[in-house]
Amino acid sequence: MQKTEKEFTCETIERLGVLSVKGCISTEVNLVSINGGEPKVDVRHWYINPEGGRSMRKGVVLSIDDAKALAQVLINSKL
């Protein structure tokens, strides 16, 4: 049986902010829609090549509710 790969799309709805930039790697928080689904919060590294193009690296995608809960945990933490 042959596996077929599903098409993957990730549309950036809104760029919420940049957490850091180290060399050619940017860590960003964005609101995204994956495969046309409900908006989610995406925290991800992006590689920015010398020509200005961008490519996705590892990251975490959270529901809006989970992102709000994470924000509250961080606010209440002793960091």
Sorted by where each begins, the domain ranges of the chain are 10-76
Domain 10-76 CATH class label: mainly beta
Confidence bin at 30 (pLDDT 50/70/90)? very high
Please check the confidence at residue 3 and state whether its pLDDT lies above 70.
no
Please check the confidence at residue 70 and state whether its pLDDT lies above 90.
yes
Q: Are 9 and 36 spatial neighbours (Cβ–Cβ below 8 Å)? A: yes
Rounded to whole angstroms, how far apart are CA atoms 30 and 5? 25
Residue-wise pLDDT for 38-64, tens only, equals: 999 999 999 999 898 999 999 999 999
pLDDT of res. 7? 86
Please check the confidence at residue 71 and state whether its pLDDT lies above 80.
yes
pLDDT of res. 8? 86
